[in-house]
Amino acid sequence: MSPPLRILGIETSCDETAASVVLRDEEGAGRILGDVVLSQLEEHSAYGGVVPEIAARAHVEALDTLIEEALLRAGVTLEEIDAIAATSGPGLIGGLIVGLMTGKAIARATGKPLYAVNHLEGHALTARLTDGLSFPYLMLLVSGGHTQLILVKGVGDYERWGTTIDDALGEAFDKTAKLLGLPYPGGPAVERAARTGNPERFDFPRPLVGDARLDFSFSGLKTAVRQAAQSLEPVKEQDIADICASFQRAIARTLKDRVGRGLKRFKADYASVDQPALVVAGGVAANQTLRATLQALCDAHGFRFIAPPLELCTDNAAMIAWAGAERLAAGLPADGLDVPPRSRWPLDTRAQALIGSGKRGAKA
């Protein structure tokens, strides 16, 4: 049992500026005391994607105010904070510099320890904040920059079982939306269009289905979508809806195969775990069709399915603060003020990098 911990979290890895104060109590349970997120959607929508220079400038302009607001909502002062946690990678280097340097400045001024947090670790540990989940468990990370199946064994202890060999799932959604003339961000736009579409009109490929590996691939699916759209030019509104619905159906079937194999492996390797769990994290985890697919898959395999609240699936500082609290409670050392930001930072440093995965500058 450890004393209660109040951690200030800072997140600036891409296009959301966020600050949060999280409490980890004596029993290890978590509670968000104050949480503020400022989206930069309007600043980037005209460009159809995130512009790194604009994102970094927006972080500079907003971060101090957001930290003050998070502390105010939490009802605590900096003196009552036990540690500072700031995202230091992976992500856009300009934004990471803003958040990490701010965290360093606060740590230096207050004498509090600093934890430079891996953004992906924030996602990996969120289910322990929201649901009190015990180790080990399986996590599917699906976002604009990453598609990975990760075994979460403990704080700081992760094993990558599968990753994308080309495009991340979120990238496939965004590029499909852009191809079809749908607005940014692409994921929600594709999901909205798919609601009125026929998912059986197009028989899109399901990459790597049946493969013994647990890796993912989405570039071939993206190419098939482009070819279908080109064959129909000019595409009508119903064509777009049908393409989006068929695209989502292909992804759902791909995840059913890929993740299903991962669930079988977990049961074989961890037969002693009474209630195995699959956690889904990352921005694409907000997609309701994919959530329903994963829920049904978990039900069929006897797994508990955990999908954090939507606001904790996308980039946020509460998960960063919680990761800092977990590291502090586990007795892991704080970071020095010379810790650098890292645009690339794999969660499993022992895993072999695959060609085309983990593209520099991609949103985590």
DSSP class per residue in 145-167: S-EEEEEEEETTEEEEEEEBSS-
At 42-59, the pLDDT tens digits run: 777 767 778 888 989 999
For 77, the 3-state DSSP assignment is: coil
The mean per-residue pLDDT over the stretch 322-333 comes to: 97
> What share of the chain has pLDDT > 90, as a percent?
86
Chain region(s) in the chain for CATH 3.30.420.40: 5-131+311-329, 137-310
Cβ count within 10 A of residue 227:
12
**Who's near 106: CB < 8 A, 6+ residues apart?**
8, 67, 78, 84, 112
Would you state the pLDDT for residue 355? 53
Q: Are strands 147-154 and 137-142 parallel, antiparallel or unpaired?
A: antiparallel
User: Hey, which bits of 125-241 come out as E strands?
Assistant: 137-142, 147-154, 157-163
Annotated binding-site members for substrate: 141-145, 174, 187, 191, 287
359 pLDDT more than 80: no
356 pLDDT more than 60: no
106 pLDDT more than 60: yes
pLDDT confidence of 363, banded at 50, 70, 90? very low
Answer for the pair 51, 44: CB distance below 8 angstroms, yes or no.
yes
60 pLDDT more than 60: yes
321 pLDDT more than 80: yes
Higher pLDDT, 162 or 308: 162
**Which among 181, 178, 176 has a CA at the least distance from the CA of 204?**
176
23 pLDDT more than 90: yes
Would you state the pLDDT for residue 52? 84
Would you state the pLDDT for residue 354? 67
Would you state the pLDDT for residue 362? 37
What value, to the nearest 5°, has the Cα angle with vertex 314 and ends 311 and 319?
80
pLDDT confidence of 4, banded at 50, 70, 90? very high
At 221-236, the pLDDT tens digits run: 999 999 999 999 999 9
**Which among 19, 7, 95 has a CA at the least distance from the CA of 364?**
95
The model's pTM is: 0.92
Lookup: tokens for 70: 């998070």
Residue with tokens 């482009």: 226
pLDDT confidence of 125, banded at 50, 70, 90? very high
CA separation for the pair 313, 316 (Å, rounded): 8
Phi, psi of 89 (to 5 degrees): 155, 170
Mean pLDDT for the chain overall:
93
Annotated binding-site members for Fe cation: 119, 123, 315
137-310 in CATH: which number? Answer: 3.30.420.40
The mean per-residue pLDDT over the stretch 11-36 comes to: 96
User: Hey, which bits of the chain come out as E strands?
Assistant: 5-11, 16-24, 30-39, 83-89, 114-118, 137-142, 147-154, 157-163, 277-281, 304-306
Annotated binding-site members: 119, 123, 141-145, 174, 187, 191, 287, 315
The mean per-residue pLDDT over the stretch 152-181 comes to: 95
Answer for the pair 147, 3: CB distance below 8 angstroms, yes or no.
no
Fold of 5-131+311-329: Nucleotidyltransferase; domain 5 (3.30.420)
Would you state the pLDDT for residue 360? 38
Lookup: tokens for 266: 């977990």
